[in-house]
Amino acid sequence: MATRADCDREHIRVYIDSNAAIPDRTEAILHGGEDPVPEMTNALRNLERCGADCVVMACNTAHYYLPRLREKSRIPILDMLAITARCCARRYPGKKAAILATTGTLQTGLYGRALEGEGVDFLLPDEKQQKWLMHLIYDVVKASRPMQPEEADWTGLLEELRQRGADYYILACTELPIVANTLPDKGPFVDPTEELARAAVSFCGYPLKAPPEERPGGRTTTEDAPDAETSGREENHPKGDFFVDNSFCDLA
């Protein structure tokens, strides 16, 4: 947990709308599938009625629709990609990131623009590497199949990207931190989901647990509190609740 707390009552109250009816985002982005925004908006309205102070979307691909959702939202929606880009700029100045994500996320160019805005150099997997990465995300993690048989290919992918100049890896799909925690590698990794959670804690004015400098498998987090772009709360005066909409989790 990201919150500095001595008991469960000191954590943030969280409301979750796990809406499995939201259409596949990658299908919509790449192939003109059903627009997910109407159903995402329904989930957003449910969360707003709970009375929280901000919304987070635990999905990288869903941020393609962030501008449309922000137009409809009555409360702030934190931007996972912008938060991650600032983390990379602070944590690894002058270093090159490899973006590991769904094809839908990469096709939008959203991460590239966010990283370029912070002066972060990056590279993408080639076609063969991306095809295998999609297999890992969809056919293994989403399908709840064992990951150990994929270990050699996972470490091989990371090494190939390392040989191309990657200094660290952005786990830009919610399935990939599971892989990084299960199949050890020196990384290092930046986990956008974790950075988003820390930003939400900071936004809501709760004290952050100091992150370790390095985590198993090379996963690292920022040294300082995340920069939640719409934050204005005092850290020592917790006031806010936040919403996690699991219907935005990276099913696509």
Q: Which is the catalytic residue, given 54, 88, 173, 249?
A: 173
Please give, one letter per residue, the 3-state secondary structure of the chain.
CCECCCCHHHCCCEEECCCCCCCCHHHHHHHCCCCCHHHHHHHHHHHHHHCCCEEEECCCHHHHHHHHHHHHCCCCECCHHHHHHHHHHHHCCCCEEEEECCHHHHHHCHHHHHHHHCCCEEECCCHHHHHHHHHHHHHHHCCCCCCHHHHHHHHHHHHHHHHCCCCEEEECCCCHHHHHHHCCCCCCEECHHHHHHHHHHHHCCCCECCCCCCCHHHEECCCCCCCCCCCCCCCCCCCCCEEEEHHHCCCC
Query: Active-site residue 88, yes or no?
Result: no
Query: Active-site residue 59, yes or no?
Result: yes
Q: Which is the catalytic residue, given 54, 59, 88, 204?
A: 59
Q: Hey, which residues are catalytic here? A: 59, 173
